A and B are shown apart, each in its own frame.
Chain A
Amino acid sequence: MNILNIMEDIEKADDEIYERINPRRKVIKNFLGAGSKVALSALPIALSGLFTKAYGRVPEKVLDVLNFALTLEHLEHRFYQTAMDTSNLIPAKDKLGFILKHEKAHVKFLEDTIKKSGGTPVSEAKYDFTGKGTYPDVFTNYKTFLLVAQSFEDTGVAAYKGQATKIKASYKEVNEILTAALQIHSTEARHAAHIRFIRLLSGFATIKPWIIGDDNTKGQPSYPIYRDEDDHRHVFININGIGGYKTKNAGTASFDEPLRKDDVLKIVAPFFA
């Protein structure tokens, strides 16, 4: 493999390659000039960075994020579809049809985006929504259903949040994916707030549409979804009691917290058959 030959071949096929990579042509010329001195083992890495920039191909780690998101959306979609297909579970007045519609749309949107970006979307899994027997009445008792729904929604919000910085780049294709992920993220937060509001109004839990503190008993008890929600330091700044309202609640409720991928997977693991 000879890097100069590769670049020449690309140049024949795409005479704007240098402009695509960098308007400052000289940088590339210099890069090529140094090519013979660059350690051979480092070349593939240097090249892949160059081409990613040139053609905006979506990097593998972004595709991984999209498939991780799709894994969660499949779970949510099947959960709500099953619930809506169960008679006498969800009161029509609670308008959960919006949530089902959105989760279904998210599945399709993510599948399309992954394909368009050159990846392979993960397929739907088999689920056990009783969480291995922890919630045996999940589709017969609305109270239990809402508890699990809240856990899924709050976890989903935190999961997208935890991935946002991995979908950051300076070129268009990835920026578009980041924006779409943020748009899904806030949709999920609306869902979470609604489920929590229903639980509040129904007297099922002493709860608010926002997350106050790290009281994990308010969500799914088997794994600490809200473990970090008591965090009140953001970029060196303690938000506990900020602004003269000396309530700790306002401090913790005003910032949602992210969950790492491995924590999210632990939270949802019992729901996979």
Chain B
Amino acid sequence: MATSLIHSDDSIDIEETNFLSHPVHRRSFFKYAGFSAAGLAMMASACKIPYKATGYNLGNSDFAVLNFAYALEQLEAAFYTRVTDKFYTGATELEKDLITDIRNNEIAHREWYQRVLLLKKLPHLEFDFSSINFNSRDSVLNTAKEMEDTGVSAYNGAGKLLKVGLFLAEAGNIVSVEARHVATIRNLISFGDYAGDDVIDANGLDGARTPQEVIALTSKYFKKPIDGSNLPTS
């Protein structure tokens, strides 16, 4: 459905009114900008990042950085979906409740990126979770911890690469939720380890990694590699 690329659900109030006399609603914005929803959808589907010998090359713009984040959010959403499909042995009601919330947040992030990256985006990625034992609490929670700590450091390291203030602001809105996730996962593993010395340095600073470091750390999960070699470095 063409409009689904722009509108996340049908609860949005779309007003077909005079652009000059009313606030800009989404549809009128796109009309004003010279797009029709159908045209936009066609353009979007035609602009998937192609798979090449080195993997999915993200490119070098703000959209490349956002695609990098999109890849990580796809990974997290897929992981938690597997976890919640059949919880590990001995999962408590509290754990199920919290992890289900986390899954829903990660899916919301993934879907948000999918919609905001209208012009050039990764396809739906496939993942290799063969290193994870989904029946084991230890395996699931430690994977979650590693993935979320890495995700937080990815956002912290990528912030300076974003040129558009609006994107930086939105990345900021997301990263603190990721930090809330990992604090909670770490508390489930060992209560009180929400911000341990292994992850917060002597200056009280959380991790920050370059996209290349993050891609290397998470590459085992991606069936087809993500190529961030053209991403900006400063």
Contacts and interface: CB of A to CB of B under 8 A. Distances in A.
A238 B8 contact: yes
B183 A194 contact: yes
A190 B179 CA distance: 5
Contacts of B47: none
Nearest to A107: B204
Contact of B200 (A182, A187, A254, A258): A187
Contacts of A6: none
Given A109-B204, A183-B208, A243 B6 contact: no
Counting contact residues on chain B (CB < 8 A from A), the size range is 35 or more
B145 interface: no
Interface residues of A, number: 65
A173 to B, nearest CB: 11
Interface string A205-225: 000111000000000000000
Interface in A227-268: 234-247, 249-251, 253-258
Interface stretch (B108-116, B126-134, B218-226): B108-116
Interface stretch (A37-45, A49-57, A97-105, A142-150): A97-105
A101 B184 contact: no
A245 B204 contact: no
A141 interface: no
B139 interface: no
User: Chain B contact residues: over half helix, strand or loop, or mixed?
Assistant: helix
A264 B131 CA distance: 45
Contacts, number: 218
A139 to B, nearest CB: 21
Given A185-B175, A243-B104, A190 B9 contact: no
B204 A250 contact: no
Contact of A210 (B109, B172, B180): B180
Given A102-B195, A178-B160, A242 B206 contact: no
Interface in B189-234: 191-196, 200, 202-208, 234
B140 interface: no
A184 B156 CA distance: 10
B8 A237 contact: yes
A175 B105 contact: no
Nearest to B169: A165
A58 interface: no
B101 interface: yes
B7 interface: yes
Contacts of A210: 101, 105, 177, 180-181
Contacts of B191: 93, 95
A95 B192 contact: yes
B7 A179 contact: no
B11 interface: yes
B83 interface: no
Interface of B: 6-9, 11-12, 26, 29, 77, 98, 101, 104-112, 115-116, 152, 155-157, 159-160, 165-166, 168-170, 172-184, 187, 191-196, 200, 202-208, 234
Interface of A: 93-95, 98-99, 101-106, 108-109, 157, 160-161, 164-165, 168, 172, 175, 178-180, 182-194, 196-197, 208-210, 234-247, 249-251, 253-258
Given A209-B181, A234-B170, A254-B112, 15 more contacts: A178-B160, A185-B172, A189-B176, A190-B180, A193-B183, A194-B183, A194-B187, A209-B180, A234-B112, A234-B173, A242-B9, A242-B108, A242-B111, A253-B101, A256-B177
16 contacts: A94-B192, A102-B204, A104-B204, A161-B169, A182-B159, A183-B205, A185-B175, A236-B6, A238-B9, A239-B111, A240-B9, A241-B11, A253-B177, A254-B104, A254-B174, A255-B112
